[in-house]
Amino acid sequence: MKNINMEVPGTIVAHRPHQSGLYIGSPSIAVLPNGNYVVSHDFFGPNSNEHKSPKTFIYGSSDNGQTWCNLSVIENAFWHGLFVHNDILYIMGTNRHHGDIVIRKSNDGGESWSSPTDRKNGLITHGGQFHTSAVPVVNHNGKLWRAFEDASGGHEWGMRYKAGIMSIQEGDDLLDADNWQFSNFLYGDTTWIDNSFNGWLEGNAVVSPAGDIVNIIRTDSRMLPEKAAIIGVSSCGKESSFKVDSGLINMPGAAKKFTIHKHEKTGIYYSLTNVILSEYEGKNHPMRLRNTLALISSNDLIEWSVKKTLLHHEDHLKHGFQYVDWTFNDDVIIAVSRTAYMDDFNGVSNSHDANFLTFHKWTID
């Protein structure tokens, strides 16, 4: 067996050669009550069957991320994200590319999972078209909140996505569809960002400094600086609203998927994003520049600054550290990355189609 390249940054959790036609997607991470780590990923690409019967793979580590083992494989699971609620591990996403919303739970740390057979057992929608990724599930004011996009608005990538949010009382059965409430879903407008707006997706439920839930979402545009959108959410969770004059903010890396978490001790918000260094500006569409991963922070969710560069490769065409999902474990950031990197199988054809799932640890200092 070939050496798949020990120069890849971080710890390799999974690898698949590009020639397989299976590209690693949707990295997600959670910490179990016993301190073990659990991560997940799916496959996309020509041989993934993502539009009919995709698979999500679950890995676990009992030694703080030094080694990993495969715990399970979930059928008909795509764009999933892990989270722990009331000491139970859950995973939530869609049952296929632009499929229905589903949620599963595991009572044994990810080795086995419930099956979303009907509306009482995790099949949250039926006959819908939805989009998401591994995005935060936030517990606030007695409810859990999670962003999703309705993908039923046509067939054009980006503009088909309508942004919204789901919520549920924290004590209710998360697998019962009747317990979930949806906000309205909002279209974007091509006239935004100097007529360059091409969609919004992969929103984050975040508690604002004022104590409100907002949906901070990636936007697609060729314009720089990159911008995120802040969508307001009513306290009851039924209404999403957006004010274009104040809702578009400059955020480094916001043209790519990002995850925002608040550091509870300091109240500072952090994210890991694919910032664009000055020497790469104009070399590709902003959403395709993923060769630099940075830690960014904000006190108010409006003004963001880069604290430090975490990962970088000089080749922006075939290397990327992207879709990074992360969480705080005490004061340490633990993260998983959809990583495109050279291997002994000639690497990848582009930075988007990742061949590695990698695990990382960083401090916020």
Q: What is the pLDDT of residues 98-135, one digit of tens each?
A: 999 999 999 999 999 999 999 999 999 999 999 999 99
Q: Residue 323 is inside which H or E element, if any? A: strand 320-329
pTM for the structure as a whole: 0.97
pLDDT of 95 strictly over 70:
yes
| Predicted local distance difference test score (pLDDT) of residue 1 | 34
| Predicted local distance difference test score (pLDDT) of residue 6 | 61
Percent of the chain past pLDDT 70, that is, above it, reads 98
* Mean pLDDT rounded to a whole number for the chain: 97
Residue 107 contacts by C-beta under 8 Å, 6 or more apart in sequence?
Answer: 88
| Predicted local distance difference test score (pLDDT) of residue 330 | 87
Q: Residue 246 is inside which H or E element, if any? A: helix 244-247
User: How many residues are listed for the chain in this entry?
Assistant: 365
End-to-end CA distance of the chain: 40
Residue 204 β-bridge partners: 216
Written as six digits, the tokens of 14 are 């999974």
Written as six digits, the tokens of 79 are 């764009």
Predicted confidence (pLDDT) per residue in 309-365, tens digit = 999 999 999 999 999 999 999 889 999 999 999 999 999 999 999 999 999 999 998
Out of 3-12, 94-103, 205-214, 325-334, least confident range: 3-12
| 270-274 long-range Cβ contacts below 8 angstroms, 24+ apart | 270/295, 270/296, 270/297, 270/333, 270/364, 271/295, 271/296, 271/297, 271/304, 272/296, 272/310, 272/324, 272/326, 272/333, 272/335, 274/320, 274/321, 274/322
Written as six digits, the tokens of 292 are 């630099």
Residue 106 contacts by C-beta under 8 Å, 6 or more apart in sequence?
Answer: 88, 89, 90, 91, 112, 113, 114
Predicted confidence (pLDDT) per residue in 17-54, tens digit = 999 999 999 999 999 999 999 999 999 999 999 999 99
Query: Rounded distance, CA 157 to CA 148, Å?
Result: 15
pLDDT of 56 strictly over 60:
yes
| Predicted local distance difference test score (pLDDT) of residue 4 | 62
The CATH classification number of 11-363 equals 2.120.10.10
Q: What is the largest CA-CA distance in the chain?
A: 56
| Predicted local distance difference test score (pLDDT) of residue 2 | 45
Neighbours of 153 (CB within 10 A): 16
Predicted confidence (pLDDT) per residue in 243-269, tens digit = 999 999 999 999 999 999 999 999 999
Q: Residue 292 is inside which H or E element, if any? A: strand 292-298
Alpha-carbon separation of residue 235 from 2, 96, 232, 240 (angstroms): 55, 31, 10, 10
